[in-house]
Homo-oligomer: A and B are copies of this chain.
Amino acid sequence: MDKNIELSELRKLLRKNEFTGPTAGFAHGHTQANLVILPKDLAYDFLLFCHRNPKPCPLIEVTDVGSPVPRLTAPNSDLRYEVPKYFIYKKGELVREVNDIETYWRNDLVSFLIGCSFTFEFPLVENGLEIRHIAENRNVPMYITNIPCEPAGVFHGNLVVSMRPFSATDAIRAVQITSRFPSVHGAPIHIGNPEQIGIQNISKPDFGDPVTIKDGEVPVFWACGVTPQSVAMSSKPELMITHAPGHMFITDTKDSSYSIL
């Protein structure tokens, strides 16, 4: 499909389940978001967890209880239909993959839209940095670290990070660029030795695909939006709905609005 399709047209296709693929590269400039939907009785703990762990869990919007409309970032949209693919978890088990969640919707559900690394990858590319997993046409490698998140209520777990290798010079530039987006993961959490953050084998990511680290390059690690999903799942909530990896919700908001400088 032509990636230059207008967002409004793309949403029409999403509503008819005629677009069910990954969203990377679509609706250029519009902020894409991770989705976590939980019952209200878990929403306070999850909101507090996100507040206490803003780097892995940069909240873009939390909907009103029972409303599928993200009225601040996509007021004409409906979260029940406009994600290409959803995962349905019951008690921590993936039970179904679906293209809309109309039959699962309930009046006690709260939707959390969480920032995604697409927002800071584009300015890295614009600044001439090569994003290895894009160059190698793979999914970004992700690792579970030994760094505990700050717990909140029933939610606790370790930080998940994504990794992008850069030359030392480019790593410094990447720190500068991503620091401008504190509300979308922000600056890296580690540069250099993976073992220092509990990663034993950099060529075996816990999620995603391995990528080449060239001679003279250092791995640079950012807090990853997979963290809140993995933490939520480990608490085995009665019902949790998420987007399928790479199949994000696209907001009306422009990425540039999350830059503080």
Interface residues, chain A, with chain B CB atoms under 8 Å away: 43-44, 47-48, 51-52, 59, 62, 72, 150, 179, 182-183, 186-187, 260-261
Contacts and interface: CB of A to CB of B under 8 A. Distances in A.
B260 A182 contact: yes
Contact of A59 (B51, B72, B182): B51
Nearest to A71: B150
A44 B261 CA distance: 31
Stoichiometry, copies per complex: 2
- 5 A-B pairs with the lowest CB-CB distances in the bound complex, closest first: A44-B44, A182-B260, A47-B47, A182-B182, A179-B260
Contacts of A179: 260-261
B52 A47 contact: no
A48 B51 contact: no
A243 to B, nearest CB: 20
15 contacts: A43-B44, A44-B47, A47-B47, A47-B48, A47-B51, A51-B51, A51-B59, A51-B62, A52-B62, A72-B150, A179-B260, A179-B261, A182-B183, A182-B260, A186-B260
A43 B47 CA distance: 11
A260 B188 CA distance: 12
Nearest to A40: B44
Contacts of A72: 52, 150
A52 B260 CA distance: 17
Contacts of A261: 179, 261
A9 B52 CA distance: 29
A232 B42 CA distance: 23
A253 to B, nearest CB: 14
Contacts of A187: 260
Given A43-B44, A51-B62, A182-B182, 7 more contacts: A47-B47, A47-B51, A51-B59, A182-B183, A182-B260, A187-B260, A261-B261
A255 B222 CA distance: 24
A147 to B, nearest CB: 15
Contacts of A150: 72
A39 to B, nearest CB: 13
